[in-house]
Amino acid sequence: MAATIVETAPLVLNVGVVLLAAATMGFVARKFGLPAVFGYIFTGLLVSPFTPGFVADNNQLALLADIGVVLLLFEVGIEIDLKRMGKENRAILWGAPAQIAIGVLVGTPLFLWLDMPIFGALLLSLSISISSSVVIVNITRSPRRTINSATGDAMVGWAIMQDIVGVSAAVIILTVFGESEKSLPVAIAGLFGFILLAYACSKLLPKLLRMVRWEKDLFLIYSVSVGLVLAALGTVVFGIPMALAAFIAGLSINQSQDTDEVRKAILPFRDLFAVLFFVVIGTLIQPSNLSQAWPFALTFLLLVVFSKTIPTALLVRMGKLKVQEMQFGVGISQIGEFSFVLGSIAFAQEAITESQYTGLLVAVVISIVASSLLVRKVGSKPTDKN
């Protein structure tokens, strides 16, 4: 027993040091008016093997970060209220898919022109078209926000609709153009099979949760474990990427009357592990590759502006959403967690180069910081704090 403790102590120290550094860097970032996410990513750069000083165990962090991504997208799926979205902001139901379609149609030919294979071109253009739900939620809840509640609610709804369309498109791209041995009909059957499993859980979970409603510890364990188990089953049994499976599971379970309690139970874990997710992004950035990666990073950022920021503002006007149009477009204009997952898949299957992958990571950092700061300035008006 004592030997086991000695062996695991360095691993516990590793996580503790990283979390402490991330909290400190997040605090410093906020003091300078930057989003805390920037501090988390910077922490990853500091503890990466590519910079001097303390080097974190990246495999351990990656495992915890995967848990963070699962809980993150599981919670995002739970938060969706499609009925409310359809009543209050019906234009979002067609506007967000149209914005993603524009991004893919603009980005794919450009990446093909840069000699990227079709699989990598499609995944990168899709990843750039999708925003960060985490960053958008932070923007709408920040005490420094200058957006009104209507704009904030519409931004969250837009990001959620992006996730729904992105999941569907990613499954098709991975099946048709990826290294999967499955045919498209088999992959679609697997997707529907998993949806049925998630739907069955959505009927059983409320009954279970009502039985343990007053047992706070059991309620918490069931809430977290269901998200993890469903996401893992989606990958192991049905062949769906784990992050996508987590989102679908959350989307199905949100039909329950107890979803608000589930969300509250998951949030502390989500926030903790999500920090490690952004730290891992920082650990993957190699400073030695930056000189080669900058052209790609700038290309990605320009695509964000011309295939997402501007089209989103125009689509919002066409849909007559009662929001601050340019501020809405800027608030949507970042690359986030789902984009990182898709980019990592493309890199793992050698559909993009290391320089292109590093460029995507750099673009993630710059777009998050720029969007979080500029959204306070562009089209800002006195806001209601409700």
Per-residue pLDDT tens digits for 355-385: 888 899 899 889 988 888 888 777 555 444 4
Q: What is the mean pLDDT of residues 255-273?
A: 67
As its CATH architecture, domain 2-374 has Up-down Bundle (1.20)
Axis-axis angle for helices 325-332, 149-177 (nearest 10): 40
Please, which contacts does 64-67 make with residues 24 or more away whose CB atoms are closer than 8 Å? 64/15, 64/273, 64/276, 65/273, 65/276, 65/277, 65/279, 65/280, 66/242, 67/228, 67/273
Q: Are 99 and 312 in contact (CB under 8 A)?
A: yes
Per-residue pLDDT at 224: 75
SS3 214: coil
Q: Are 294 and 362 in contact (CB under 8 A)?
A: yes
Give the chain's mean pLDDT.
79
pLDDT tens across 211-249, in order? 877 777 787 777 778 778 888 888 787 777 776 777 777
SS3 118: helix
Distance CA 384, CA 73 (A): 28
Q: Is the pLDDT of residue 105 over 90?
A: yes
Q: Is 252 exposed, middle or buried (0-12, 13-18, 19+ CB in 10 A)?
A: buried
Q: Of all residues in the chain, what percent carry a pLDDT higher than 90?
A: 11
Per-residue pLDDT at 385: 40
Dmax of the chain from CA atoms?
67
Return all residues near 179 (Cβ < 8 A) that are at least 6 apart: 349
Return all residues near 108 (Cβ < 8 A) that are at least 6 apart: 118, 121, 122, 125
pLDDT tens across 113-141, in order? 988 999 999 999 999 998 887 788 777 77
Per-residue pLDDT at 153: 78
Per-residue pLDDT at 384: 44
Angle (CA) 281-283-288 rounded to 5° is: 110
Distance CA 137, CA 145 (A): 11
